[in-house]
Amino acid sequence: MLNKLSVKLALVIGMIVFCSVVVSYLTARHQVTESVVMATKQGLYRDLLLNKEMIEQKPRQWQTSEQVNIWAKQVARTLEVRVTLIDLDGMVISDSSLPPSKIALMENHKERPEVKNALENGYGENTRYSQTVKEYQLYMAVPVGLPKPYAILRFSKPLYDIGFFDTGIRQEITPSLFLALFLSLIAGFLAAFFLARPIRTLAFTAQKRIHGDISGSITLHRKDETGVIARALNVMTDEIRKLQHREEWLRAVFSGIREAIIVTDATGDITMVNPAASRMFRINGSMFKPRPLSHLSDSKLQELFARVHSTRVTLHKEELSLMTTKGARIMQISSMPLTKEELFTGTVFVLNDITKLRNLEKIRRDFVASVSHELRTPLTVITGYTETLLDGAMHEPEHATAFLQTILLATEQLTALVNDVLDLSRIESGQIEYTFSAVDLKRMVQKSVDLLKPALDKKQIRLDIHIPDGLPTVYADPRYLDIVVRNLLDNAIKYVDDQNGKIRITAFKSDDHLRLEIEDNGIGIAKSDLGRIFERFYRVDKARSRERGGTGLGLAIVKHIVMAHKGNIDVRSRVNLGSVFTLMLRTEWVDEEGSPLKQNPQTTQDPL
């Protein structure tokens, strides 16, 4: 583009200079030619008048036509003109360009324009092609004779002298014109180069700006139009830098905001989404890319945005269940209209995911309700039997002992419930400090079996333990790992039938974990309940659980302890066929990113 501009400027400047030279040449040539013609005419006219005065009185020596011819030839030779003497009737008396023998054969000249004008006006002039001498001639004629004209004296001069002069001018000037053309083009290219140099600088800078490079500035200290454009480009570059800095600042601010932020313009189209909104609603593209509302994945959100845009209402913490990349979430939506000079320019929407908050509130309500319900049952038993004893049953030993045993059982159940609630609260609040060390899982299982052996013997449960020797140790807190194993084994004992109960405990290595499985042939767990058995106070068989002294918190405590050990617990079960609880524990300790630690930590706090 720049080369084309330079060439165009060079051609334009060169052609202007060349045309100026050509026009000057043509004008000068015309003026010179006119001057030569005028000088020729004046000289010819002067000679004609001079000779007219000499022969105003007819010379005496003109006795014969031969003497007249001699005079005509002498004058013609002296003045380098053609001399013709014509009588008043138009007959040629003498002509310096013809021999005497041919003069008589010449046409009558009375109707010749110069002759006719000379007779009528005293002077005649004409330019035409002469049939006699076969060339263009300039003719001038005047009458001679006083007091009465006796003849017409005519001088003529060929125009080839003027043509020769004009040809000479052309021959001399033409090479100069080509030289002028060449020099004009050179001058044009030089002028174009120097004129286009600031334009090239401007164009180069503009190309950089188009491709996003805003580095540097234009250093053109000129006061012409290019200087004005350079200063304008520098100002625009500074504004672009400011806008980019502001955009980067906004991008950083919006990227750091956890809430989803969506901005729409006056037409209702989306003009900005922060990363949180992009992830939540699968909105692809850059943060400030314009896009229609149809890019929102949830139709209810589209309808809400359209309603706010059409009615200009302001939302204040309006809750709406929306489909996001994380599934159905409860969103708290607020909006604020944007105005500029009292004109509506768009709306800012802030969407806060309060699903966890609402779930926590529900959990709190359920927990309070569950604790109240769990406390009410043993308290009701204690209150009822106490009132019975106070009403006189205490004086009946056979009944009083049974009532007191029932009160004691309810008190133990109440104590266990309170202790479990306190333990779970401490675990969830992260107040427990774990002391990790290498633990022999086989010895830990055997310890729990020994503690629960009376219950196993009472129900005549068949217990099979398959834990091979030489398994690697697991890194855990022995106290809390004992709670996990004892809870799982205690649950298996509770939910198997007397005499027909079977429990199988196996352990083996799986990659960098030890896998412990506790399998029973008890009542099993329905598929619909499998996802909730680790919730607080959730019981598959509430009546049977209370009957066996369960609080409904054991598996919740187990899950939190296993998570604190960076392990995993899972369950498989079929109704009336039994259950298999699988515990996965690491054989080496890792950091938060999953990288093995060279030295195992001795103490850590429950992250939950």
Confidence at residue 539, expressed as pLDDT on a 0 to 100 scale:
66
Whether the predicted pLDDT of 428 surpasses 70: no
Angle, vertex CA 111, rays to CA 109 and CA 115, nearest 5: 70
Q: Is residue 193 part of a domain?
A: no
Residues 161 and 226 occupy one common structural domain: no
Confidence at residue 603, expressed as pLDDT on a 0 to 100 scale:
41
What CA–CA distance (Å, rounded) separates 217 from 239? 12
Residues 116 and 28 occupy one common structural domain: yes
Residues 289 and 252 occupy one common structural domain: no
Contact (Cβ atoms closer than 8 angstroms) between residue 95 and residue 106: yes
Question: Which tokens belong to 567?
Answer: 């392990």
Confidence at residue 9, expressed as pLDDT on a 0 to 100 scale:
64
Confidence at residue 506, expressed as pLDDT on a 0 to 100 scale:
93
β-sheet bridge partners, residue 139:
126, 156
pTM reported for the whole predicted model: 0.44
Contact (Cβ atoms closer than 8 angstroms) between residue 585 and residue 516: yes
Output the CA–CA distances (angstroms, integers) from residue 540 to 367, 535, 543, 544, in the order listed.
Answer: 17, 11, 9, 9
β-sheet bridge partners, residue 82:
156
Of 353, 374, 395, the domain-final residue: 353
Of 353, 369, 385, the domain-final residue: 353
Q: Find the CATH number of the domain harbouring 267.
A: 3.30.450.20
For residues 486-519, b (16+ Cβ closer than 10 Å) or e, as one string?
A: bbbbbbbbbbbeeeebbbbbbbeeeeebbbbbbb
Q: Once rounded to an integer, what is the mean pLDDT over residues 188-200? A: 67
Residues 275 and 389 occupy one common structural domain: no
Residues 138 and 19 occupy one common structural domain: yes
Higher pLDDT, 536 or 584: 584
Q: Find the CATH number of the domain harbouring 503.
A: 3.30.565.10
Q: Is residue 184 part of a domain?
A: no
Residues 389 and 484 occupy one common structural domain: no
Which pLDDT tens digit goes with each residue over 542-594? 555 555 555 667 788 888 888 888 889 999 998 888 899 999 998 865 554 55
Whether the predicted pLDDT of 450 surpasses 70: yes
Residues 413 and 449 occupy one common structural domain: no
Q: Once rounded to an integer, what is the mean pLDDT over residues 117-140? A: 83
Q: Is residue 209 part of a domain?
A: no
Contact (Cβ atoms closer than 8 angstroms) between residue 489 and residue 448: yes
Q: Is residue 189 part of a domain?
A: no
Domain span at 42: 4-166
Q: Is residue 459 part of a domain?
A: yes
Residues 269 and 244 occupy one common structural domain: no
Contact (Cβ atoms closer than 8 angstroms) between residue 130 and residue 105: no
Confidence at residue 133, expressed as pLDDT on a 0 to 100 scale:
67
Please report which helix (H) or strand (E) contains residue 214, including its range: none
Of 369, 391, 425, the domain-final residue: 425
Q: Is residue 508 part of a domain?
A: yes
**CA-wise closest residue to 483 among 451, 438, 519:** 451
Residues 314 and 391 occupy one common structural domain: no
Residues 237 and 276 occupy one common structural domain: no
Pairing of strands 578-586, 603-605: unpaired
Residues 14 and 144 occupy one common structural domain: yes
Which pLDDT tens digit goes with each residue over 157-186? 887 655 555 555 565 666 766 676 677 667
Q: Is residue 281 part of a domain?
A: yes
Q: Once rounded to an integer, what is the mean pLDDT over residues 63-89? A: 85
Question: Which tokens belong to 516?
Answer: 């412990």
CA Rg value for the chain: 63
What CA–CA distance (Å, rounded) separates 218 from 244? 19
Whether the predicted pLDDT of 296 surpasses 90: no
Residues 345 and 380 occupy one common structural domain: no
Q: Find the CATH number of the domain harbouring 377.
A: 1.10.287.130
State how many domains the chain has. 5
Q: Is residue 208 part of a domain?
A: no
